[in-house]
């Protein structure tokens, strides 16, 4: 058992959410997000969606890029106040994937997530980050303060990271 997962299990036992926690992949709990240095403040609510390979699966890079482009197109058609490019990554390995932070309600976001074969998405409420199961939005688990999971990077570095994934 990894140290991260062990810590999460200990916290879950305290909060009596072990059954929900067991259903989410441990990688969701260590994910951080790269975002370009802000022109404005980061919202304290919204959802983070990705169209890359579902957790535990591996898709060819060209399929991931195509799915990401389709997701961007769909998100731009929806009614929302913001759409911000991000990169979700695991600090303990090389996994990273392009993602989108959008001002969508959880129900709409889960429907979009299911269309893009996603198991879960991140929900931000009052600055707190949660994992939500796309197929059952009542299944959710607290992760951390959203601000504590953000890494601010220069626009050029963001472009380079996006090109490499």
Confidence (pTM)? 0.80
pLDDT tens-digit profile of 65-95?
A: 999 999 999 999 987 789 999 999 988 877 7
Distance CA 89, CA 30 (A): 8
The residue assigned the tokens 């975002």 is 35
Q: Is 143 helix (H, G, I), strand (E, B) or coil?
A: strand
Q: Which pLDDT score is estimated for 55?
A: 66
Average pLDDT over residues 14-36: 72
**Domain assignments of the chain as residue spans, ordered by start:** 28-163
Taking residue 90's Cβ as centre, other Cβ atoms within 10 Å add up to: 17
Average pLDDT over residues 13-27: 59
Q: Which pLDDT score is estimated for 105?
A: 92
Q: 21-24, long-range: CB within 8 Å, 24+ apart, which pairs? A: 21/141, 23/133, 23/139, 24/120, 24/131, 24/133, 24/141
């Amino acid at each position: 058992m990894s140290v991260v997962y062990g810590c999460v299990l200990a916290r879950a036992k305290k909060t009596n959410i072990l059954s929900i926690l067991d259903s989410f992949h441990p990688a969701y709990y260590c994910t951080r997000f790269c975002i370009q240095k802000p022109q404005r403040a980061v919202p304290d609510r919204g959802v983070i969606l990705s169209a890359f390979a579902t957790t535990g699966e591996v898709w060819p890079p060209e399929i991931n890029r195509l799915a990401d482009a389709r997701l961007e197109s769909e998100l731009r058609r929806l009614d929302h106040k913001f759409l911000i490019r991000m990169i979700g990554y695991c600090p303990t390995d090389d996994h990273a994937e392009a993602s989108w932070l959008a001002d969508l309600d959880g129900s709409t976001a889960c429907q979009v997530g299911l269309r893009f074969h996603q198991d879960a998405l991140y929900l931000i409420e009052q600055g707190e980050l949660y994992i939500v199961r796309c197929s059952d939005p009542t299944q959710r688990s607290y992760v951390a303060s959203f601000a504590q999971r953000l890494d601010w990077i220069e626009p050029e570095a963001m472009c380079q990271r996006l090109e490499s994934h």
